[in-house]
Amino acid sequence: MHSVTLISATDFAGWRRAARHCVNMDVAPEHISWRVQGDVGSLFDSNLSSIEPTVESATAFTVPRSFLQLAELVILHRHAARFSVLYRLLWRLQREPQLMTLSVDEDVARANAMKDAVRRDIHKMKAFVRFREAPFTSPPRLIAWFEPQHHIVEAVAPFFMRRFPTLQWSILTPERSVHWDLKELRFGTGANKSEAPADDAAESLWLSYYASIFNPARLKVHTMQAHMPKRYWRNLPEAALIPHLIANATSRTEDMLHRTPAEPRRTRRPTRSSRTPSAAVSSNGDQDLDSLRTAVQGCRDCPLWKNATQAVFGEGRERAKIVFVGEQPGDQEDLAGRPFVGPAGKMLDRALVEAGVDRKLTYVTNAVKHFKFEPRGKRRIHKKPNEMEIAACNQWLQRELLAIKPTLIVALGATGARAVFGRATAIEKNRGRIIPSIEAAGGVHTTDVLVTVHPSYLLRVPPEDKQSAYERFVADLKLAQGYAGKR
């Protein structure tokens, strides 16, 4: 009888080396005891001969790719038998090459059930992690508490890194923690729920957001519970709203039916693109702008797509030295499908000419890609995107920056600056100087930043201040041009 001790519960590389070695030695599955460092041993351990999971096997053999993909997920399952189930499959594959196609086989079925459970858990973690701002931290740090069913923290962490590359965050779980500091992911031991904030200033914002996207006309309680099992409710702030939302669903639906729609006719309904955002990622992690432009039309990551005509992606030179980041498309941009073509865009164009910047050589985009508005009669009145919407849309901005790799980002106004820095940034205090090397695009490259006002601000200032505000804006643009031009 042999024993293999892996260094961690998710030590796939160690399992793979030891398993390969054991197959080459023709060790039958029932003659191996698999364990993880720190597991409590049994009385008979001293009789076992130990096989080191670091041993490299001399003889190579191949297994179907489907088995490896299955094994990488199964190893994350909580059940202690996962290692032996996988080894039994590997051992049998040497004798039964078609084994993986036999879904009714007991070992194959058990491994598939484990894989499905891990996949579900990964999906739930992506959907149900809720960050709260830690008190008294500078720069701000978001902390979430989550209780996964399986060992999935390492597998899911890169998803949150890509999603929130410009925010510092931690996810704490009972067995593992992960921290993102804008440069790298760090993993640590488990934590206690009391180490995560119980509430924060943004909680009421999140609850209003959740209540506003809850559509009573589409309520199906059983489906809702299937998608959001009750065991997750204790860590979901919005769970407290659900009984009330369900209780009022009927009256809210009737109210909706009696209300007259006030939105103008849409010119084109957005359709879900067959290319999902992840499908637009090339093997080296970069993404080309055309793929992104197509993929963003399928984005449903916040509710803004519902009322907008289309997503308005950035436009300009693919290798621009300067990228301008505004807030969101306005009414005209929404209809035209192009950024900065309305009154604020015309103001920007005029100032760019005066500052000696050729817009065609730059790239112009927004923090949020769908138009947020409030219907008022036949007019659509601009509404500022909230923090949730800016955070949800940041993935697109980061992908644009990653594709372009500019020398300088010019954040236009508070929303543009929030999206670029990942936190509220005072415009007046920070404008007029180059802010060096902030981490942008998920830490893949660093880009300097200049913040200034949004050109729409120039349309709103009192007449007596218009000229001086405009001249300061032009001066900021000249600074950007002078800085980027030298690099």
Candidates 105, 181, 301, 315; binder of ligand SF4 (CB under 6 A) is 301
Q: Is 390 in the site for ligand SF4 (CB under 6 A)?
A: no
Q: How many CA atoms lie within 13 A of 325 on its CB side?
A: 27
Provide the Cα torsion 317, 320, 324, 327; round to 10°: 50
What CA–CA distances, in Å, run from 176 to 9, 157, 183, 314, 399? 11, 11, 20, 39, 29
17 near ligand SF4 (CB under 6 A)? no
Q: How far is the CB of 398 from ligand SF4 (least distance, A)?
A: 12
> Shortest Cβ distance from residue 375 to ligand SF4 (Å)?
18
* CA distance linking residue 141 with residue 196, whole number of Å: 11
Regarding 305 and contact with ligand SF4 (CB under 6 A), the answer is yes
For residues 16 and 454, which CB has a smaller minimum distance to ligand SF4 in the complex?
A: 454
Residues 6 or more apart whose CB falls under 8 angstroms from that of 267 comprise: 309, 335
Cα 318 from Cα 35, distance rounded (Å): 52
Positive or negative, the CA dihedral 416, 285, 173, 303 is positive
Nearer to ligand SF4, 305 or 421 (CB): 305
Closer CB to ligand SF4, residue 420 or residue 477? Answer: 420
Contacting residue, 114, 156, 304, 364, with ligand SF4 by CB under 6 A: 304
CA-CA distance, 179 to 159, in Å (whole number)? 13
Q: Residue 60 phi/psi, 5° resolution?
A: -90, 150
The single residue among 369, 399, 418, 454 that binds ligand SF4, judged by CB under 6 A, is 369
Is 164 a binding residue for ligand SF4 by CB under 6 A? The answer is no
Span interacting with ligand SF4, options 41-49, 213-221, 237-245, 297-305, rule CB under 6 A: 297-305
Spell out, one character per residue from 349 to 368, where the chain touches ligand SF4: x when CB under 6 A holds, - when not.
-------------------x
Strand order in the sheet with 185-189: 131-133, 141-145, 168-172, 176-180, 185-189
Per-residue x/- track, 395-414, ligand SF4 (CB under 6 A): -x------------------
Length of the chain measured in residues: 487
Contacts of 227 (CB under 8 A, 6+ apart): none
Candidates 392, 414, 419, 449; binder of ligand SF4 (CB under 6 A) is 392
Binding mask 253-292 for ligand SF4 (x = CB under 6 A): ----------------------------------------
Rounded least distance, CB 305 to ligand SF4, Å: 4
Quick check: 388 binds ligand SF4 (CB under 6 A)?
Answer: no
Count of other CB atoms within 10 angstroms of residue 312: 27
d(CA 320, CA 407): 8
Beta bridge partners of 50: 3
Please identify, using beta-carbon distances, which residue of 299 and 408 lies nearer to ligand SF4.
Answer: 299
Considering the rule CB under 6 A, would residue 302 count as an interface residue with ligand SF4? Answer: yes
Is residue 171 a contact residue for ligand SF4 (CB under 6 A)? no
Binding span for ligand SF4 by CB under 6 A among 3-11, 103-111, 342-350, 388-396: 388-396
Task: Supply the DSSP symbol for 49.
Answer: E
Binding site for ligand SF4 (CB under 6 A): 296, 299-302, 304-305, 311, 368-370, 389, 392-393, 396
